[in-house]
Amino acid sequence: MTALFRLFNVTKNYGDRQVLNVEHLEIEAGHIYCILGPNGSGKTTLLRVISLLTLNDTGKLEVLGEHINWAPSQLLRLRRQMAMVTQSSYMFEGSVYYNVAYGLKARKTPEREVKFKVQESLDLLGMLDFINYPARKLSGGEKQKVAIARALAVNPRVLFLDEPTSNIDPSSSVEIERYIKYINEEHATTIVLITHKLFQARKLAKEMFLMWDGHILEWGQTRDLFHDPQDPRTRKFLKGEY
């Protein structure tokens, strides 16, 4: 299997505070990975570093097989193979169509293809009826579906999901989980998911990382980690004691 992401001794500080210190991490293509950990453990920072939104201070970072030198042309080329959905996804002022078409138009995709892909993505998420609706007037769950459709429209190799279901009701949450699974299985999209919901990690992820104080405390197959956690802190966290 090819490693899509490789990190060696990657650190990130905000002022005096070290928020990330990852000795080694590899993410392979085609699976769902889950990053777990208490608040402030560095999950989002890790996601932002590997999605090339935040510069690491030290260490070696490889993304999609390339050593990162942060040149604008490299960032653009690599980011165009990735997409991200956050917990309260930002909707641009305008219609659902405008939002979903954004990434395609940025790539100068022909108008006919844009139309087709927007419709296809919205249809998949069951949001086609909202195509001309103002995106900012949608409910939280609907916005998240549009955000996923928007990410899918650009056909990414990697999809980053930062707590995509934390602000929505349980039924929408289950629906989104179903889409995550579908996207991974049908489109072979690698998914890196941050979640606070243990059952979600258990249900979706093949492998998971448990983060603690900026470090990766434990990393392995989800099943193994839930059944036989090695670190006492992982054990406590998975029991819901943190």
Partner 1 sequence: MDVIWQGLKEGFMLILSLDQELIRVTLLSLHVSLSALVIAGIIGIPAGAFLALKNFYGRKLILNITYTLMGLPPVLAGLIVFLFLSNRGPLGDFQLLFTPTAMIIAQVLLGFPLVCGLTARAVMTQQQEVYDTSVMLGATRTQAVLTLIRESRIGIIAALTTALGRLIAEVGAVMMVGGNIQGKTRVLTTSIVLETRMGHDSRALGIGIILLLLAFIIMLIILKLEKRSFKDDSTIQII
**Binding positions for partner 1, rule: CB under 8 A:** 51, 53, 72, 75-76, 79-80, 82-84, 86, 89-90, 92-93, 102-103, 106-107, 150-151, 154, 160
CB of 140 to partner 1, least distance (A): 15
- Of 99 and 234, nearer to partner 1 (C-beta) is 99
Angle 140-153/111-124 helices, nearest 10 degrees? 130
- Of 21 and 89, nearer to partner 1 (C-beta) is 89
CB of 8 to partner 1, least distance (A): 24
CB of 169 to partner 1, least distance (A): 22
Q: Which two tokens stand for residue 47?
A: 């996601």
Strands (E), the chain: 3-14, 17-28, 32-36, 58-63, 66-67, 82-85, 158-162, 190-194, 207-212, 215-221
CB of 227 to partner 1, least distance (A): 35
- Of 80 and 196, nearer to partner 1 (C-beta) is 80
Angle at 222 between CA 165 and CA 50, to 5 degrees: 65
Count CB neighbours of 8 within 10 A.
14
CB of 4 to partner 1, least distance (A): 16
- Of 98 and 237, nearer to partner 1 (C-beta) is 98
- Local structure of 32: helix, strand or coil: strand
Torsion of CA 203, 80, 14, 210, to 10 degrees: 20
- Of 79 and 187, nearer to partner 1 (C-beta) is 79
